[in-house]
Amino acid sequence: MERRCYTLWATIRHAEDVPGEWVAHILDLDIVTQGRSVEHAIHMAHEAAELVVLEDLDQRRDPLVRGTTSPEECWNELWAIRGRGRPVESMAALEASMSSRAGSVCVAQLFVGVERRVPSVEGAPMAWLDTSRNDRSSALPCS
């Protein structure tokens, strides 16, 4: 078995065009997804990241060298938030903090781990297993 782990960064904010929805942007992969709450948006981001990582690895591509990353201003926002933000004790505290402040943005660190079963026959397709289902995501609140 070959195991690979990836640490990815995402920003989460209120959806501008859909009331009550939250948008998560995974900067490393430039993927955008949404959810009904901050926690749901983080979960959906994690799931989307897993799918992209698995697809890239299946196609024998490095997920982090895919030619698609977020614009520099997105990364600048993330690092500014990390610089002035603080870790949150629980998802409930994050939800309360984000819901009470319009225009809030938080940063989440997503851990994606996959294992590959090495084929026994030369040229056989690779099989990847998702090993990060315990949703080990962490989040930092921001401005």
How many domains are contained in the chain?
1
Range of the domain at 24: 2-141
pLDDT in tens, 50-80: 999 988 888 888 888 876 789 999 999 999 9
pLDDT tens series, the chain, 143 aa = 678 889 999 999 999 888 889 999 999 999 999 999 999 999 999 999 999 998 888 888 888 887 678 999 999 999 999 888 888 888 888 888 887 777 789 999 999 988 766 555 455 444 444 444 444 444 443 33
Long-range contacts: 134-139, Cβ < 8 Å, 24+?
Answer: 135/43, 135/46, 136/111, 137/42, 137/43, 137/46, 137/108, 137/109, 137/110, 137/111, 138/87, 138/108, 138/109, 139/12, 139/38, 139/42, 139/87, 139/88, 139/91, 139/94, 139/106, 139/107, 139/108, 139/109
